[in-house]
């Protein structure tokens, strides 16, 4: 693309119609009660702006890759080995010279020129606040969020997938037949340059390409409904606290296993969470979001101990005693939250229609296990017997995320203790502080093994949060 004319001054077209209205309402019902509500139409950055303009996520341009082919006939004959992975050399970018024949016999990817459109997000809320005795404000609220045209995680759409009806052909899909492209497609790196080819390749929408993909399409959507409870005591008489509780649900059709509120997912979960089961039916991706936290309770607090100078107790103690007991303060944050939904992965992809994933079968029973000792739960977090590897030429029955099994939640308390010592007519403050992360050394267990057929399937063998850490500091404030 050139940038020398007024019409071509950007890398992509600009989405210039992002009209984002906001509406708000506040009503003071009584001197102690207020009702608030609001709505906003907002926009997120486009995939090209958010992910840069290089590689598969942006302006692909004339780029190419050299694919490792271990076999051309489903491992009947070994073609390339680790000692000689590219026996026919490398595939170099041809530039513009081949026109529409660029990469013929290999895989192509579209450049996402429709990805410049900014994702659309509707947000709305309604809450009631009431002041209660003790300088405390209580609030109950409802939150809603609807996302449209969202960036589809790290998912790749395979447009060159066979239609699912072709699975009825069964093993005939793998039958070796004469290759009509032999002698026409001559690139030695292409499986289509061989005299024979698997029958299924010739049934693809574009049989002269091994793949036709698109990366991070703005096709995802989400919906969230939640209720919040909040109790806030403003600082007075040496005490302040904020208690917040949220219960909600997120449903989407694209999130992978990365959760910003939970342990990092494994590479297996990332792959199965981002892969599309069937490019012809996006409805199969709809499930509880992999980032859904059903319940979250957080309390933060500050408490100045009532001892010493100007306090309730020992205010008239001898100077040395008063100096020792004055200025102590305890601060903390306690978080309790449920885990995010579990993702399980099939042992292999045996659909044989070039879909990007296959899911496990479920026998109709819930995999959730209730009760049991800690050791028992770590060794068997969910009932693995309800799952099975699906038969070849089927998709599997399990949803993208499990609706009834979640990874371990979070229970954590961070504490700090301050001692403020004032001198020089209160112009200087020597502050001693002790800070404890995961103060009670509560185990935060990691995610169970997600891969069916592996020894760690359903087994928790790691922790997600470091054990208790303590640090001390001495600070002079003036």
| Half-sphere exposure at residue 358, Cβ-oriented, CA atoms within 13 angstroms | 23
Q: What is the pLDDT of residue 275?
A: 75
What pLDDT is recorded for position 262? 40
pLDDT of residue 242: 97
What pLDDT sits at residue 73? 76
160, part of any domain = yes
Q: Which residues pair with 410 in a beta bridge?
A: 337
> pLDDT tens string for the chain (478 positions)?
444 455 566 666 677 788 999 999 999 999 999 999 999 999 987 766 545 444 444 444 556 678 888 887 777 788 888 888 888 888 777 666 776 677 889 888 765 555 567 889 999 999 999 999 988 999 999 999 999 988 775 556 788 999 999 999 999 999 999 999 999 999 888 889 999 999 999 999 999 999 888 766 778 899 999 999 999 999 888 899 999 999 999 999 888 654 333 444 454 454 455 578 999 998 999 999 999 999 999 999 999 999 988 888 888 888 888 888 988 999 999 999 999 999 998 988 999 999 988 999 999 999 999 988 999 999 999 999 999 999 999 999 999 999 999 999 999 999 999 998 888 777 888 999 999 999 999 999 999 999 999 999 999 999 988 899 999 999 998 8
Q: Distance between CA atoms of 74 and 391, rounded to whole angstroms?
A: 17
* 258 inside domain: yes
235 falls within a domain: yes
Question: Domain tally for the chain?
Answer: 1
Report if residue 333 sits inside a domain. Answer: no
Nearest alpha-carbon partner for 233 in 129, 307, 132: 132
Distance, CA of 344 to CA of 323 (rounded, Å) = 59
- Measured in whole angstroms, the distance separating CA 3 from the mean position of its chain's CA atoms is 36
Domain that holds residue 266: 22-294+344-393
Q: What is the C-alpha to C-alpha distance for residues 306 and 303, in angstroms, rounded to an integer?
A: 9
Q: Which sign does the torsion angle of CA 147, 153, 159, 164 carry?
A: negative
**pLDDT value at position 100?**
67
| pLDDT value of residue 246 | 98
Distance (Å, rounded) from C-alpha 460 to C-alpha 369? 14
Tell me which H or E stretch contains 331.
Answer: strand 328-337
Residue 323 lies in a domain: no
pLDDT on residue 56: 43
Q: Pick the closest to residue 340 from 274, 388, 408 (CA basis).
A: 408
Beta-carbon contacts of residue 376 (< 8 Å; ≥ 6 apart): none
For residue 111, tell me if it sits in a domain.
yes
97 located within any domain: yes
Residue 473 lies in a domain: no
């Amino acid at each position: 693309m050139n940038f020398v004319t007024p019409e071509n001054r950007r890398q992509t077209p600009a989405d210039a119609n992002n009209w984002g209205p906001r509406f708000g309402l506040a009503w003071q019902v009584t001197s102690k009660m207020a009702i608030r509500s609001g709505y906003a139409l907002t926009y997120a950055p486009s995939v090209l702006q958010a992910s840069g303009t290089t590689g598969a996520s942006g302006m692909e341009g004339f780029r190419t890759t050299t694919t490792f082919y271990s076999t051309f006939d489903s491992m009947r004959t070994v073609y390339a080995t680790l000692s000689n992975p590219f026996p026919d050399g490398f595939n170099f970018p041809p530039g513009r010279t081949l026109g529409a024949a660029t990469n013929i016999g290999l895989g192509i990817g579209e450049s996402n020129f429709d990805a410049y459109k900014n994702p659309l997000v509707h947000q709305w809320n309604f809450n009631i606040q009431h002041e209660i005795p003790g300088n405390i404000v209580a609030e109950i609220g409802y939150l809603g969020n609807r996302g449209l045209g969202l960036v589809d995680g790290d998912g790749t759409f395979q447009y060159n997938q066979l239609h699912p009806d072709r699975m009825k052909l069964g093993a005939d899909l793998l039958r070796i037949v004469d290759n009509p492209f032999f002698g026409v497609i001559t690139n030695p790196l292409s499986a289509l340059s061989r005299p024979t080819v698997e029958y299924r390749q010739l049934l693809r929408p574009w049989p002269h390409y091994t793949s036709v993909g698109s990366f991070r399409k703005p096709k995802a959507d989400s919906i969230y409904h939640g209720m919040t409870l909040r109790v806030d005591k403003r600082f007075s008489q040496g005490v302040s606290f904020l208690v917040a509780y949220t219960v909600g649900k997120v449903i989407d059709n694209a999130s992978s296993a990365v959760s910003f509120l939970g342990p990092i997912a494994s590479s297996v979960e990332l792959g199965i969470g981002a892969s599309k089961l069937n490019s012809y039916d996006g409805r199969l991706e709809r499930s509880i979001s992999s980032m859904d936290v059903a319940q979250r309770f957080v309390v933060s607090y500050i408490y100045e101990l009532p001892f010493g100078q100007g306090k309730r107790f020992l205010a008239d103690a001898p100077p040395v005693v008063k100096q020792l007991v004055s200025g102590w303060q305890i601060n903390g944050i306690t978080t309790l939250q449920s885990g995010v939904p579990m993702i399980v992965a099939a042992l292999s992809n045996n659909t044989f229609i070039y879909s990007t994933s296959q899911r496990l079968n479920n026998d109709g029973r819930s995999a959730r296990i209730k009760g049991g000792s800690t050791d028992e739960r770590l060794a068997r977090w969910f009932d693995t017997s309800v799952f099975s590897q699906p038969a070849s030429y089927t998709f599997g029955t399990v949803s993208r995320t499990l609706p009834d099994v979640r990874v371990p939640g979070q229970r954590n308390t961070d504490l700090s203790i301050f001692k403020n010592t004032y001198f020089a007519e209160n112009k200087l403050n020597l502050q001693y502080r002790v800070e404890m992360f995961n103060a009670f050394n509560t185990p935060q267990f990691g995610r169970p093994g997600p891969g069916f057929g592996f020894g760690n399937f359903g087994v928790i063998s790691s922790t997600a949060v470091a054990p208790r850490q303590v640090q001390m500091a001495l600070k002079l404030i003036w």
